[in-house]
Amino acid sequence: MAANQQSSLNGLHRLDGYLPIKDYGLVGDGATAALIGRDGTVAWLCLPRFDSPPLFCSLLDTVRGGAFRVMPDNLRESRQCYEPDSAVLVTEMRCLEGALRIRDCCPLSAGADLTEDLSVTRRELLRSLTVTEGTVRVTVEMEPRGGAEAEPREGGLRIRCEAQPDLCLHLYSTVRLTGLRTSVTLKAGQSVHLLLNWRQSSSPAAAFDPERLHEDTIAVWRRWLAHLTYHGPQEALVRRSAITIKLLDHFENGAIVAAPTSSLPELIGGSRNWDYRYAWVRDAAFSVYALHRVGLSHEAAGFLGWVLDAVERDGTPSVMYDLDGRMPPEEREDGELEGYRGSGPVRWGNAAAAQHQHDVYGEILDCAYQWAAHHGAIPVPLWERLRKLADAAAREWRTPDHGIWEVRTSGRPFTYSTAMCHVALDRAARMADRFSLPGPAPTWRHTADEIRQAIMKEAWDEKIQSFTEHLGGGGLDASLLTLPLRRVIKADHPNMVATTRAVSERLGAGKGLLYRYLPEESPDGIAGHEGAFLLCSFWLVDNLAMQGRLDEALELYDSLCARAGALGLLPEEIDPSTGAFLGNYPQAFSHIGVISSGVNLARLLRKEGRQCSDDLV
């Protein structure tokens, strides 16, 4: 389903008491984000930031998680869409007695410019309810996790949460609220507006103008998206993917979280449930590069400044950071929540933060290279910080690490990590030459070539006719498909063509889907299996296209984009047997794939003089 294309009204179908993951829409304000279901429930919201404790997380436990519910009587069917080119979510509901429309958004400051690294959050969630047909009785219920008490205030309620006593909440309403649960009957044309506010000091209810808040917020999003320059396949979904990635951006400082959620399972009933509400250097670098390729280049500067500040403070780059550029909290399991569809454990924090992953050197330097190519220069103070990372890559490229997939076994000299050390040195040498910057560029180039030769010789397995996951041999790994994308090995090199074929055949999950690797061949120290990883299939699209198999690549790309939900959102993984969404949602990686593969296909189509056909725009 293409983004913004109107879907039909459908009944709500729960599995084990939970809506499918695809039945949730995302709203946010550059500080936090909420997931709102087709049933009108805010099932996920962490306050005041992405990485804060959840106020609502019925997504992970329908009984104990807490939620902000809008419940019309006798709900029969519903659908969701976004106001075009915005992050304002519309949920249309048909009931036995009439129809209800809900508009949800996290309002942004009027006139805000999203190209600047400034906070634009008003610390609010606005929910506007309008009956469009008949008469509908609606119940509004506020149930924070851990319980809460409400006190009447002018225009609404002051709410004290037992689990977060320092959180100052106000719920304003255009109708009188009788407590944390209120019912009201509305006729066609009548509306109720609810404003949840978590500022320390709140404005009076008289200043609450819902229409202006909606209009201002839509205008901010559209002004930012006006910078987008993309004309190619799946244009509507590419535009929605750009907005989705931006919704994962911490506007104030340029950090980008991998996903807004924690512990959505990679397999129903499995234990591969992780907290993704942090900024991985790799994921954030991928994100800003994808945005840069469609004309949204401002995010790269914010990310570079944020990550290099963190590196300078700590002395060496970490795998991930919290939004302040510090180590995330230690990983712990939450014994109170059952997990989505009973898939425990629920985890907060992420133990991978303590791992060594050498690809971070290449991610940062490649991002800096792209940014510098766009701006035509690189400041000397920034360069002094970057060249240290190149030197570290030269020292450590043979040192075992935990790799892009963050295995929880002892380290191995992963091919992807080794290749990204090549990228770090190659890009450092290119920048030094292009901008006449100090540094041992010839030495960096020599070491980069040495790394490339090591990959060609030591990662190649003649028996299986493929590169392997680490130097010295091993299983297959879909991240090998990135070697041409990062200019380490050409896509049409015979060994790369063979590797593409081997990955497609041996890691294939059917219908163009790929597993990252097979745990039985590539032990990762974690019990169980997982779904197919969407980004890997987009990498396959890129390789097919670059090897001259453009029609196959287009067909695969369209099939992957068709897996997006009605809102144009994608998860981390797909269940190959059912097509159901798995893993944290929405996932930056998957939307990066939509954008990057779209750009690659559009470029190759133009090169062949072919017009981009897009049935879904």
Kindly state whether residues 244 and 340 are assigned to the same domain.
Answer: yes
Largest CA distance in the chain: 76
616 pLDDT tier (thresholds 50, 70, 90): very low
Determine the Cα–Cα distance for residues 151 and 272; give it in Å rounded to an integer. 41
Q: What is the DSSP letter of 414?
A: B
Determine the Cα–Cα distance for residues 195 and 479; give it in Å rounded to an integer. 44
Question: How large is the angle between the packed helices 359-375 and 380-396, nearest 10 degrees?
Answer: 150
Residue 436 lies in a domain: yes
Determine the Cα–Cα distance for residues 389 and 311; give it in Å rounded to an integer. 9
Question: Nearest to residue 422, comparing CAs of 334, 493, 363?
Answer: 363
Domain count of the fold of the chain: 2
Q: What is the DSSP letter of 481?
A: G
Kindly state whether residues 261 and 165 are assigned to the same domain.
Answer: no
87 pLDDT tier (thresholds 50, 70, 90): very high
pTM of the model: 0.96
Kindly state whether residues 331 and 193 are assigned to the same domain.
Answer: no
CATH code of the domain covering residue 370:
1.50.10.10
364 pLDDT tier (thresholds 50, 70, 90): very high
Q: Which domain holds residue 182?
A: 21-207
CATH code of the domain covering residue 173:
2.70.98.50
**Residue 234, both tokens:** 């799946």
Residue 6 lies in a domain: no
Inform me whether the pLDDT recorded for 350 exceeds 50.
yes
The answer for residues whose C-beta is within 8 angstroms of residue 315's C-beta and 6 or more apart is none
pLDDT tens sequence across 565-600: 999 999 999 999 999 999 999 999 999 999 999 999
Does 451 or 301 have the greater pLDDT score? 451
* Mean pLDDT, residues 439-468 taken together: 98
Residue 33 lies in a domain: yes
**N- to C-terminal Cα separation, the chain:** 10
pLDDT tens sequence across 92-127: 999 999 999 999 999 999 999 999 989 999 999 999
Kindly state whether residues 85 and 142 are assigned to the same domain.
Answer: yes
Q: 228: helix, coil or strand? A: coil
Q: 43: helix, coil or strand? A: strand
Among 207, 224, 259, where does a domain finish?
A: 207
User: What count of residues does the chain have?
Assistant: 617
pLDDT tens sequence across 195-246: 999 986 655 544 689 999 999 999 999 999 999 999 999 999 999 999 999 9
| Side chain identity, residue 463 | K
Inform me whether the pLDDT recorded for 612 exceeds 80.
no
Q: 552: helix, coil or strand? A: helix
Among 207, 228, 261, where does a domain finish?
A: 207
Residue 61 lies in a domain: yes
